Chain A
Amino acid sequence: MSGRPLRLQAVSWWFKRGRTVLNGIDLDVAPGECVVVRGANGSGKTTLARLAAGVLIARTGRAERARSMAYVPQASDDPPVRMRADRFLDALARMRGTRPSDDVVDALGLRPFVERPMNELSTGTVVKVLIAAAVTGSPQLLVCDEPFADLDAAGHDAVRDLVAAVRTRGGGVLLTDHGETSRALADRELVLRDGRLDG
């Protein structure tokens, strides 16, 4: 382990039918650093985020990441889970051996929604629940895949606070984004194009 929250070395990923999405990616996220990766639709940002989070195993290359990690995936219209939001947060906190934070639930404006089934919540509210779950873990590496896409102002603030908290603890952050919102958070911006990262 390099001591860095995230280190990807010559990492590649391709789908079974042959399309190469990532081609020899090198990426280091230093302690306290926030790296923002931009790219067009279909450029491979989500694949990169899933690789960074350890959900995907690189076809070639090497990935090292902090043991304590949180992942906020891209918003999706798929029905998430048939479970109340507070019970989901509780379940994830128990898996981590911690307790969910009431303060974060209030800060995100989730209080009116926590007793409702997740499959009845709006896409943005589901992302807020995932952010609340990420905060619970006190992660050393935070990977967020287009977190601002479906969030309101309270959600944007929560992501900023979460990023700041991880950086203050000496952790690293990898964000993927389309828009300008993440620009203020970035220590470094990279562009994903044709399977490669450009500075």
Chain B
Amino acid sequence: MTAAVRYYASLMTRRQTVLAPVLIFLAVLGAVYASDAGPPLAAAAVPAATLVPIGAWLMWLCATSESRAFADVTLVVAGSSGRRLASRLLAVAGIGTALTAAACGWAVVANPHPYPAVVVLEITAMNLSAAAAGIGLGAVFAPPLRTTAGVAVLATTAFVVVSLIVGWMPPLGPLLHAFLAVRPPSGARAALAVGQAAAFGALLAALAHVLGRRAG
């Protein structure tokens, strides 16, 4: 499956439209850390929340990086729709990881607050799990499912907003509550929230797989 992941990563890097979500994320980082952004975890919450729609957007771009006919050929060569989806997810996860690294690095360099290793680890976990949730969310709206771009944008935006407002709704509600509302964050609670967000992404990806098989 490594070859298929590399193939999709290669397609992504050849799409100029991928620059749009990446630049928006970097702009968010720039805005958050333009001056003293405050305590590290509170400052990191905004980029982490942004990674949900950014991850969904990147997943959409990955799934639309080949025409339907070519996507069919990739499916046949990869062996199954599940393998093709997993390859796409992993390719986008690579970009999500790079954006997480950028978020951590930017925070450490630009924010005049101490960043002990445990805090960097917490920020990394928060960003990675948000990215995973976003990528899973994107998979539900991306081809082979027949969702229009407009519906996907509206649904993703609505989902992120509701998840921010409703404290118990994954991925963002529990994640932000665990890291921000409880000071200092409880390790067990934070780990649970991170696991919850990542599991949420995996669940959505599995849903996308089931629906995609039926849709063709």
Contacts and interface: CB of A to CB of B under 8 A. Distances in A.
Main secondary structure of the interface of B (DSSP, over half): helix
Nearest to B216: A56
Interface string A68-105: 01111111101111110001000110111000000000
24 contacts: A53-B76, A54-B75, A55-B72, A55-B75, A55-B76, A55-B81, A57-B213, A57-B216, A71-B76, A76-B67, A76-B69, A78-B67, A78-B68, A81-B66, A82-B15, A83-B14, A91-B7, A92-B7, A92-B77, A94-B3, A94-B7, A95-B77, A130-B69, A133-B77
A81 B65 contact: yes
B6 A130 contact: no
B70 A80 contact: yes
Interface of A: 50, 53-57, 69-76, 78-83, 87, 91-92, 94-96, 130, 133, 137
Contacts of B73: 71-73, 92, 130, 133
B214 interface: yes
A76 B76 contact: no
B99 interface: no
Nearest to B2: A94
A96 B216 contact: no
Interface in B9-31: 10-11, 14-15
Interface residues of B, number: 26
B4 interface: yes
B199 interface: no
Contacts of B37: none
Contacts of A54: 75-76, 80
A31 B45 CA distance: 60
A73 B7 contact: no
Interface of B: 3-4, 6-7, 10-11, 14-15, 65-70, 72-78, 80-81, 213-214, 216
Nearest to A82: B14
Contacts of A137: 77
Given A76-B67, A78-B69, A80-B69, A95 B7 contact: yes
Nearest to B214: A57
Nearest to B66: A81
Contacts of A70: 76
A50 B216 contact: yes
A91 B3 contact: yes
A80 B76 contact: no
Nearest to A96: B77
Contacts of B69: 73-76, 78, 80, 130
Contact of B11 (A57, A76, A78, A83): A83
The 8 A-B residue pairs with the shortest CB-CB distance in the complex, in nearest-first order: A78-B67, A94-B3, A73-B69, A56-B216, A91-B7, A71-B76, A95-B3, A82-B14
A55 B78 CA distance: 11
A92 to B, nearest CB: 5
The residue in B7, B73, B76 that gathers the most chain A C-beta atoms within 10 A of its C-beta is: B76
B80 to A, nearest CB: 8
A82 B65 contact: yes
Contact of A91 (B10, B15, B76, B213): B10
